[in-house]
Structure 1
Amino acid sequence: MIKMSYLVLLNAALWGKTSQSSNYLQSGPELALDGLLTSWTHTNTETNPWWRVDLLKVYRVNRVTITNRPGNGLRINGAVIRIGNFLDIYNNRICAVISTLADGATATFSCGGMEGRYMIVHIPGDQKILSLSEAGVYGYLAGNLAVDGAATQSSTFTGWFAEKAIDSNRGLQQNTACASTLNQTNPWWRLDLRHIYRVSRVVVTNRKDCCTEQMNGAEIRIGNSLESNGNNNPICAVIPAIPAGESYSYSCGGMDGRYVNLIIPEDMKILTLCELEVYGEGSVLTTVQ
């Protein structure tokens, strides 16, 4: 039986790049993403100290999590969380203000789908110190239709579930963030966009370690039929090869379809992909049974 799974948001900050207004001793900005509650970032005492993560792409941010340091937690009081696309802090929109947060506590702040490449935490005022234990950013790649869809595949290699190819994590931190079938005849992976879209391009990301050839020869098919599990729909492109960890974009010229399939039409093949993104001009049909 084929299981259809849905999107689980991951912390997009983990594959971003961090910076802050100044570093106190060895308490650099990357410590807010190390997963440890016993370490924390720390700026110097200054005017308007800030911490920033560059998500590398524009996201629709649903929520931000902040974990306070286990001591001297009062320093975070009044911190402002901003989301946006500007290096100038004050040009970005405010998601939330941290009025108070207990020592070592984690708080979640809803950002309602605000779009931005940067998440910034800053404290306005003179003689301030900004210190964070951990930060998280959860959302979807902006414009990527795949994140609102549902994924399934012909079989599943242990833990490499179909939905991992639409979790907005291109798998560059760990390949278990990728999807993979078993070794079989005609392995396939399918995305249900839930609506019919006019697809302009599909972006496919390959795994970064071994076995990059498991993508070779995959056909990208787009259409509205589930005949043969959707694998009879028209072909957008054939993937000859994608280098390790690379993302290649394939133009589909405005093909209409609800389903996007990848299939390798050969015997004894494994289909592995770390991320599939779909970009289009908008929904053609707004109601789907």
Structure 2
Amino acid sequence: MLGKNLMSCSFLLTFLTLVDPLANVAPNGQATQSSLYANNVHAVNVINGDMTGLCSHTANQSSPWWKLDLLAVHRVLAVTIFNRPDCCPERLIGAEILIGNSPSTEKALAAPLVMEILSTLTHTFHCGDMEGRYVVVILPGQKRILSLCEVEVYASLAGVLMQNVALSRTADQSSSHPDGPARNAVDGNRDPNFAKGSCSLTHQESNPWWRVDLQNVYTVTAVMITNRNEFENRLDGAEIWIGNSLEDNGAKKSRCAIISHIPKGRTFYFPCSSTEGRYVTVFLPGTKKILSLCDVQVFPLDYADGTYI
């Protein structure tokens, strides 16, 4: 088991007016694992950025683990795990993601957090601005095999801030409730209480959408969305799209993410793999749907030189 000062990665995200750039810092770290099944399935395979290459693979053992040393204490906002696409995705059932400052692998408990990955193969876990040097995936139990194909760790970089380029930009939506115009979602106010007047709201309709025009083409690395306090399940299944055309409401160019669920009043972070576009669209497929957003933030790299603006 793992050290007592390791904490379980949870599904909360700290609210910030400006946020540190959320780079994937995993490739800069050092990876190890509890055992090695074969010579070509090393722990480092999980942080090389190649989702189509070799995965990690432990031997069949008690409570196998994979550990990443970030080499310094980071504030971790999210961890993305890529499960095996070829076989055995159920092996990750009950796995735990832990973050802490001790390299020890003794005596710790955490809630299982990798259950949802079975349906999507890829899942991002939100870690509530948790601080730690070590990120550990552990699989408690007897006769278990731990295999991971990629782990991405999105953590803040001290001393550099990133601009929300959606703030006060022109926003539009498929229809508008009188008290929920599209601009409310880019006013810089994350208050999740609709009655306070800072959330967008469409009418009930088929396939409602919300869109912001960034007015320039950016390489988008992350989108952060704040859900309402009320009717928290309405965002379930919404899709985030990024593109340069208004065809299909500017949506269907590159899909950044599908929102499985954001708890009421919370802000979740969605990595976008450096997707280029001028328009960011939130699209809710289905009939008799209502789309409501309390805040949408878009964080890019600088288009000219590939650095954070």
What TM-score results when the alignment is normalised by the length of structure 1? 0.49
More strand by share: 1
Higher Cα Rg, which structure: 1
